[in-house]
Amino acid sequence: MLLGSTAAAAEASAWLHPDGRPKAAALQALALLEDAASHGLRPEDYAAGTLRPTLEQAARLGLAPPADARLAQALDASMQRYLSDLGDGRVDPRRLQQDFAPARREPFNAAALLQAALSTGTPADAARQAAPTVPQYQQLRQTLATYRALADHPAWQSPLPPLPTAPSLPVVAGLKLSKARAAPPKLSPAQAYAGLAMLASRLQALGDLPPDVPVPAVYDGPLVDALRAFQRRHGLADDGVIGAATRAALQVPPAARARQIELALERLRWTPLLQGPRMVVINIPEFVLRAYEVVDGRPLVRQQMKVIVGKALDTRTPLFDEDMQTIEFSPYWNVPPSIARGETVPRLRRDPGYFEREGFEFVAPGGQVLTSLTPERIDALRAGQLRIRQRPGPKNALGDIKFVFPNLQHIFLHHTPAVSLFARDRRDFSHGCIRVEQPVALASFVLQGQNDGATWPDERIRQAMAQGHSTTLKLSAPVPVLIAYGTALVKAGRIHFFNDLYGQDRLLDEALHQPRPSLPAPD
């Protein structure tokens, strides 16, 4: 910037009076930057620590050119970075192998937003417009403050004492008793435990146990009820028993939970939200699907159900957003080539009867359907010269309905005949596609108002699912589907935490710790 230029004067005038003293907008900008931590951001990323002394000096003595222009330039740069981080997030999600980016009709322009706020409003107006408007964002910010306040709480100054050890269990080998096997330590209701006072203190600090409940002589009563509430909030079976998993969750310090919340806030800043009047969102670590309807700008949950997602070890469900365009009733299951080679071919060679029992058939490149099994066709399948599919029916791996949103990874939503798996607390069992617990409810939500208002009562949906031959229904209004990843979520006013199933929190944390380019110095 050239000293004395019209641009320099205009820039300075937005932040400083003619005598070089800061305007209210400059002081408000400093307050916003210093409060960046309330959004899970770092004030040092916006040079808040160096801006303060310069602004204090300017308030006392005023600044003469060119110092006034340097301060104005620094305020501009800091605020633009801050607004950009609020609006788009600090990290480009594609760096984490995400396939979605913030959904905006126009590119986010932090400079234009700041200029408009300075001319007609205040920097705080720009910050409010940049940050996510969904209620979850503000709820997480409030919870972040709560967990930060617990960082030095005495209940976490030392670890919980070891859990009681149960009597050893003998193991029968043939007719002999082998060496006794120690049962895993755990705390069950009505047991004595040296850590009851510390346990009660932690549960009270977290809001699961009322503050006026006395510490019992044994683990019982309200303390067990509070532990069950804690387990529900941490994705654990709420059996009231403290085993290894529950003890590990109790040991996590509030500062680590605060970091989880910060990561959740960052994801909300670059996650596509409120893309249309209705939307389907799957949260992978929670194993839950929610169907939202936007009413007066607020997302309301219309359906919620359990889901089964890709195995954490080797077949993770990818994260992306696409539009659901069709529903297939009584679908074929076209076995992916990787599954065909790695699983289906070996199974057919071991057990040829598996082909007929499961309703498989081969499909030639020209579309010819081959319904008999031969060694030559197995070899052709292995070589990629044939493909294999499973006919519609009760054994079909996709169940009786498939929700399709075209994507490069060939991921879709579907029902499943293996419904017992929905009773598990941890539900990563699939090859990557997502199995839904209540397909009729999801179909009813998706089909609402579609295709010139055609009505789809539940009975009609069930009949289409059970018809035994495959049909495809194209949606007249595609429904956005977001496969997201959040390990901290406020539900019914309480914070819930989930395990970092795919290690995405670790990757995001590492990305957020990468150094950033320096901002212009204010003096």
Tell me which of 433, 469, 496, 513 is the catalytic residue. 433
Classify 149 as helix, strand or coil.
helix
Q: Residues 6 or more apart from 140 whose CB is under 8 A from it?
A: 261, 264, 265, 268, 488, 490, 495
Classify 321 as helix, strand or coil.
strand
CA–CA separation, 320 and 99 (whole Å): 5
- Angle separating helix axes 48-61 and 24-34, nearest 10 degrees: 160
Task: Tell me the residue type at 423.
Answer: A
CA–CA separation, 358 and 342 (whole Å): 17
CA angle 461, 465, 469 (to 5 degrees): 135
In the chain, what's the furthest Cα-to-Cα distance?
98
Q: Distances in Å between the alpha carbon of 217 and those of 154, 159, 201, 241? A: 21, 20, 15, 17
CA–CA separation, 506 and 312 (whole Å): 14
CA–CA separation, 178 and 322 (whole Å): 57
Classify 160 as helix, strand or coil.
coil
Tell me which of 410, 414, 469, 496 is the catalytic residue. 414
> 211-246 b/e with 16+ CB inside 10 Å = b?
eeeeeeeebeeebbbbbbbbbebbbbebebbbbebb
The reply to whether 496 belongs to the active site is no
Show the beta-strand stretches assigned E in 81-175: 172-173
Q: Residues 6 or more apart from 325 whose CB is under 8 A from it?
A: 404, 405, 406, 474, 475, 478
Q: Residues 301, 302, 307, 313: is their CA dihedral positive or negative?
A: negative
The reply to whether 433 belongs to the active site is yes
- Angle separating helix axes 196-205 and 222-233, nearest 10 degrees: 50
Q: Which residues are catalytic?
A: 414, 433
